Amino acid sequence: MMPKRDKVQLAYLYFIPKPHKAGTPLRPIVSSMNMPTTGISMFLDKLIRPIFDKHARSTTFIDGVDLIHRLEAYTTNGHLIPKTCLCTFDITDFYTMLPQEESLDILIDFLLQHGYQKVIGGAMGSAFTLTLANILMWKWQKQLVHRLEVSNEIYGRYVDDIFFTSNDSLECIDQMLDEANNFHPNIKLGRQIGRSVPFLDVLIENRKGTLTTSVYHKEAAEPYVVPFGSDHPGHVFRNTVDTAITRAVRYSTTLFEFEEEIRQMKRMFLYNGYSPRHIYRRSLHYSVNIY
């Protein structure tokens, strides 16, 4: 954890725009590679994150495939009905509005419960900030889920994004989330509720009690991938196409959604200089003919 005297540097702040949001707000990032406290941050993250991951696994979505598997189990058990609402919400500027004192209190409580003894915001770019934010979000998630009266609902979290289902009315769900906005003065929730919502990179739909999923693309998403003419090893281009095809196969419930995603994928790769022959060969690798 000792800083290296010949490499230590002060952190510097830079900003990345968010073009997909109104007004194009900026995301502040702290470059902390050689900060004096970087070693401490990495040590704490390495020590505490495995404990948290173990105990929060049941209510954490690893990726889109994990989400779809849980939704399929939820549907198979007969819990998805025509009136079921799909709900997502996230916390606005969660990292930069992270309440420090409350976060540390919750961290101590968490460690005490699992066998260990004892300004606003955290730095995006610090290793331990993610774990601290996850623990705080896990605590708030438990408080929110406690308000869900139906035990069969599915719910889970990916960092500061939460997805859950509810058979309550839209008015009841809105009221519950309005109350959740009072958890902390720094915390404001953005929400989407309906029969069709995006979560992670999955578009989830409840079509009169039938679950359908497909690949979700943000409105501001640009059709860019690694250009085929760039100086990269061949496996990079192969993996780029393979990943897109695999996602289309895993996420698409119906043939229509799959074919539409493949059409978009083909246009994107052609736009970035990939030859039709290369795309076709990778498609054959997955026994998929996109022509």
Tell whether 35 and 141 lie within a shared domain: yes
Tell whether 48 and 151 lie within a shared domain: yes
* Per-residue pLDDT at 147: 61
- Domain assignment present for residue 97? The answer is yes
- Domain assignment present for residue 223? The answer is no
Supply the pTM of this predicted model: 0.75
Tell whether 97 and 202 lie within a shared domain: yes
- 251 residue type, one letter: Y
Tell whether 189 and 249 lie within a shared domain: no
Tell whether 137 and 279 lie within a shared domain: no
Tell whether 253 and 119 lie within a shared domain: no
Structure tokens at 249: 């196969």
Kindly report which listed range (46-55, 134-143, 242-251, 257-266) carries the lowest average pLDDT score: 134-143
- Domain assignment present for residue 2? The answer is no
Question: Strand 26-31 and strand 196-199: pairing?
Answer: unpaired
d(CA 280, CA 291) in angstroms, rounded, equals 8
- Domain assignment present for residue 275? The answer is yes
- Domain assignment present for residue 220? The answer is no
Give the residue from 165, 187, 215 where a domain finishes.
215
Task: Tell me the pLDDT tens digit for each residue of 164-208.
Answer: 888 888 888 888 777 777 766 666 777 888 899 999 999 999 999
Tell whether 33 and 150 lie within a shared domain: yes
Tell whether 201 and 243 lie within a shared domain: no
Q: Where are the beta strands (DSSP E) in the chain?
A: 12-17, 26-31, 85-91, 155-158, 161-166, 189-194, 196-199, 202-207, 210-215
Using pLDDT thresholds of 50, 70 and 90, give the confidence band for residue 40: confident
Tell whether 165 and 262 lie within a shared domain: no
- Domain, as residue range, for 98: 12-215
Name every residue whose Cβ is closer than 8 Å to that of residue 240 and which is 6 or more positions away in sequence: 225, 226
Identify whether the C-beta of residue 32 lies closer than 8 Å to the C-beta of residue 45: no
Please, which residues bridge with residue 202 across strands?
199, 215
- Domain assignment present for residue 82? The answer is yes
Span 43-57, average pLDDT: 84
Question: How many structural domains does the chain have?
Answer: 2
Tell whether 272 and 166 lie within a shared domain: no
Tell whether 163 and 260 lie within a shared domain: no
Question: Which uninterrupted H or E stretch holds 101?
Answer: helix 100-113
Task: Tell me the pLDDT tens digit for each residue of 78-113.
Answer: 889 998 999 888 877 666 666 666 666 666 666 555
d(CA 111, CA 117) in angstroms, rounded, equals 7
Task: Tell me the pLDDT tens digit for each residue of 215-231.
Answer: 999 887 888 899 998 99
What is the number of other CB atoms lying within 10 angstroms of the CB of residue 222? Answer: 9
Tell whether 273 and 170 lie within a shared domain: no
Residue (of 72, 79, 284, 282) closest to 167 by Cα position: 79
- Domain assignment present for residue 148? The answer is yes
- Domain assignment present for residue 222? The answer is no
Any idea of the CA torsion for 179, 181, 186, 189, to the nearest 10 degrees?
170
Using pLDDT thresholds of 50, 70 and 90, give the confidence band for residue 288: very low
